[in-house]
Amino acid sequence: MTSPLSLDAWNQLQSLYESKGKSFSTKEAFKSDPKRFSKFSHEFTNFDNSKILFDYSKNLIDEEILSSLIQLAKEANVEKLRNEMFNGDHINTTEDRAVYHVALRNRSMKEMKVDGVNVANEVNDVLQHMKEFSDSVRDGSWKGYTGEKILNVVNIGIGGSDLGPVMVTEALKHYAHESIKVHFVSNVDGTHIVETLKNCKPESTLFLIASKTFTTAETCANAVTAKNWFLNHVKDESHIAKHFVALSTNADEVAKFGIDTKNMFGFENWVGGRYSVWSAIGLSICIYIGFENFDKFLKGAEAIDNHFLNTPIEENIPFLGGLLTIWYNNFHKAQTKLVAPFDQYMHRFPAYLQQLSMESNGKSVTKDSKFVNYETGVVLFGEPTTNAQHSFFQLVHQGTKLIPTDFILAAQSHNPVENNKHQLMLASNYFAQAESLMLGKTKEQVESEGTESSLVPHKMFPGNRPTTSILAQKITPATLGSLIAYYEHVTFVEGAIWGINSFDQWGVELGKVLAKVILKELQTEGDVKTHDASTQGLINQFKAWA
Ligand code: F6P
């Protein structure tokens, strides 16, 4: 693999950064180019004809910089890797697996093969099973052991088996079933399951044990606790069949746990955990918003897949999003990326993207096993705003760091209360934040307001802080599916240019292994003596206090 540092386009970008990138003024760029907005913004049309506008024009780029970034993607063979992904090739090299979440949203039922086998029908069969099951829970024909309808669905999972369903059910709450509630238990902290079960009755509760591997310690512990809670009330194991369902790739472990594999919704190991919201892992979403809406969610993602696969890089929105990360991370030396949805329903979206981005691209070894000598994955963070404006936006506006930011807004609110006043206030902030981050406030402007001289520097804003504004018409299942798929492919482009494997996660292993050893020590009497002084001191103090 060629290091990105030795690509011509990389060197050209380095020169461009030196000659104009580091002093680039977006404000000036708008003044000198009246067509800048239309040149750097792209409208995406979804399968249902709804639109999303991606405005990249407030970024620190001009046509020359952008064309070098595009050239970089070409020289780094990103299109080839993309085609391999869509072809079902084993691009997850360290685990020798295909990366085929795109096959989960193949609603047009194209032939999509992994290892010579077309998986379109298999995927569709699971979706049909999800439809039948979710319909029966929603219409009340699936009954608990006493004949009661299901009113509470508890998804027990962690990481990709939790964050997607949590985020999507929150984001699409507007479409929720009127009487079924969904709950999510992820943390092994007993508080999570205890507090959740306070709201549930065994007769009307359905547990979805969501785990790709069905071996994840936290999920297994919570699942056992849920089963014990259920059996303590019910006292008859045969009733488990009505109340426990598994979402997994591991039928053996599911059976060992005591769930009949008839009540298992499967998927294959070519679905990465953080890309699994589209699979059986989405069953809680299906129950909550109905299969028809889940299907639109998949189709929205499929529409972005088609765009990503078939559009030239120049017009390809996930390519552009990913290339901007490279520009800021590797040339401007930005360390972070902020995603700020102006949408309360999307309050878990940044948390979801944290796993997507940082578990995918938090790597320092290339696909050909060499340590990198350049920066890779960004620290992605975010919160819904306007709330975020009243907490950490101070640093975004006036801090010493460059924090490229994505703002997301839907033009139409699901809750246009007070004659849509709230929505207009929300929108005004969305526009104002991006504008003020770009324009800043000069010394002259502050002085002209009669500000006392010692306060002038405090009230100045440097401006020129880059933002991408994403404007949807409405947050529907289709739009949300598209937005998630957009960020998946942005992550893909970033990882492809850095030459890393965005689809494994070896970095989570060491802590898991050590925790197993320490758990045994915590369960044994007496002081521990086998760790470094700090860990030992802490463990022994814990044992004394526990
Ligand atoms: O520990 C990281 C991880 O493997 C994630 O990649 C995954 O989403 C999560 O754990 C949960 O894994 P599983 O679905 O197998 O329980």
DSSP string, 163-195: HHHHHHHHHTGGG--SS-EEEEE--SSHHHHHH
Query: Cβ(343)–Cβ(383) under 8 Å?
Result: no
Q: What pairs with residue 429 in β-bridges?
A: none
What integer pLDDT is reported at residue 312 of this predicted model? Answer: 98
What integer pLDDT is reported at residue 1 of this predicted model? Answer: 80
Pocket test for ligand 1, best of 163, 188, 208, 213 (most atoms within 8 A of CB): 213
pLDDT above 70 coverage of the chain, percent: 100
Q: How far apart are CA 285 and CA 169, in angstroms?
A: 6
CA of 505 to the centre of ligand 1 (A): 9
Query: Cβ(208)–Cβ(226) under 8 Å?
Result: no
Average pLDDT over residues 319-343: 98
Residue 271 has pLDDT above 90, yes or no: yes
* Strand 117-118 relative to strand 113-114, pairing: antiparallel
Pocket test for ligand 1, best of 354, 505, 506 (most atoms within 8 A of CB): 505
Residue 196 has pLDDT above 90, yes or no: yes
**Using a 6 Å cutoff on CB, does residue 219 contact ligand 1?**
yes
pLDDT-derived band at 269 (thresholds 50, 70, 90) equals very high
Average pLDDT over residues 224-231: 98
Amino acid letter, 73 = A
Q: What SS3 string covers 401-459?
A: CCCCEEEEEECCCCCCHHHHHHHHHHHHHHHHHHHHHHHCECHHHHHHCCCCHHHHHHH
What integer pLDDT is reported at residue 249 of this predicted model? Answer: 93
Query: CA–CA distance from 260 to each of 108, 232, 316, 532 (Å)?
Result: 32, 20, 45, 45
What integer pLDDT is reported at residue 184 of this predicted model? Answer: 98
What integer pLDDT is reported at residue 265 of this predicted model? Answer: 97
Q: Which atom of ligand 1 is nearest to the CA of 157?
A: 16
**Using a 6 Å cutoff on CB, does residue 164 contact ligand 1?**
no
**Using a 6 Å cutoff on CB, does residue 160 contact ligand 1?**
yes
Average pLDDT over residues 383-408: 97
Tell me which residues are annotated as active site.
359, 390, 512
Average pLDDT over residues 32-38: 97
Average pLDDT over residues 367-387: 97
CA of 408 to the centre of ligand 1 (A): 28
> 469-498, pLDDT tens digit by residue?
999 999 999 999 999 999 999 999 999 999
Q: Is the dihedral of CA 450, 455, 456, 460 positive or negative?
A: negative
CA of 215 to the centre of ligand 1 (A): 9
> 58-97, pLDDT tens digit by residue?
999 999 999 999 999 999 999 999 999 999 999 999 999 9
Average pLDDT over residues 515-525: 95
CA of 157 to the centre of ligand 1 (A): 8
CA of 511 to the centre of ligand 1 (A): 13
**Using a 6 Å cutoff on CB, does residue 213 contact ligand 1?**
yes
CA of 379 to the centre of ligand 1 (A): 20
**Using a 6 Å cutoff on CB, does residue 222 contact ligand 1?**
no
**Using a 6 Å cutoff on CB, does residue 243 contact ligand 1?**
no
Cα-Cα end-to-end distance for the chain: 52
Average pLDDT over residues 403-428: 98
Pocket test for ligand 1, best of 95, 158, 167 (most atoms within 8 A of CB): 158
**Using a 6 Å cutoff on CB, does residue 161 contact ligand 1?**
yes
Average pLDDT over residues 182-209: 97
Q: Which atom of ligand 1 is nearest to the CA of 274?
A: 8
**Using a 6 Å cutoff on CB, does residue 159 contact ligand 1?**
yes
Query: CA–CA distance from 522 to each of 188, 225, 361, 518 (Å)?
Result: 16, 20, 34, 6
Q: Which among 329, 331, 319 has a CA at the least distance from the CA of 379? A: 329
**Using a 6 Å cutoff on CB, does residue 505 contact ligand 1?**
yes
**Using a 6 Å cutoff on CB, does residue 423 contact ligand 1?**
no
CA of 346 to the centre of ligand 1 (A): 22
Reported pTM: 0.98
Pocket test for ligand 1, best of 92, 271, 506, 508 (most atoms within 8 A of CB): 508
What integer pLDDT is reported at residue 463 of this predicted model? Answer: 97
Q: 272: burial class by Cβ within 10 Å (0-12, 13-18, 19+)? A: buried
Q: How far apart are CA 123 and CA 479, in angstroms?
A: 22
**Using a 6 Å cutoff on CB, does residue 186 contact ligand 1?**
no
**What angle in degrees, to the nearest 10, is found between the helix axes of 509-522 and 217-234?**
50
CA of 212 to the centre of ligand 1 (A): 7
Q: Whose CA is nearest to atom 4 of ligand 1?
A: 273
Average pLDDT for the chain:
97
CA of 291 to the centre of ligand 1 (A): 25
Residue 238 has pLDDT above 90, yes or no: yes
Residue 342's contacts (CB-CB under 8 Å, 6 or more residues apart) are: 384, 385, 386, 407, 408, 409, 426, 427, 429, 430
Q: How far apart are CA 220 and CA 265, in angstroms?
A: 17
Q: Whose CA is nearest to atom 1 of ligand 1?
A: 508
Query: Cβ(10)–Cβ(72) under 8 Å?
Result: yes
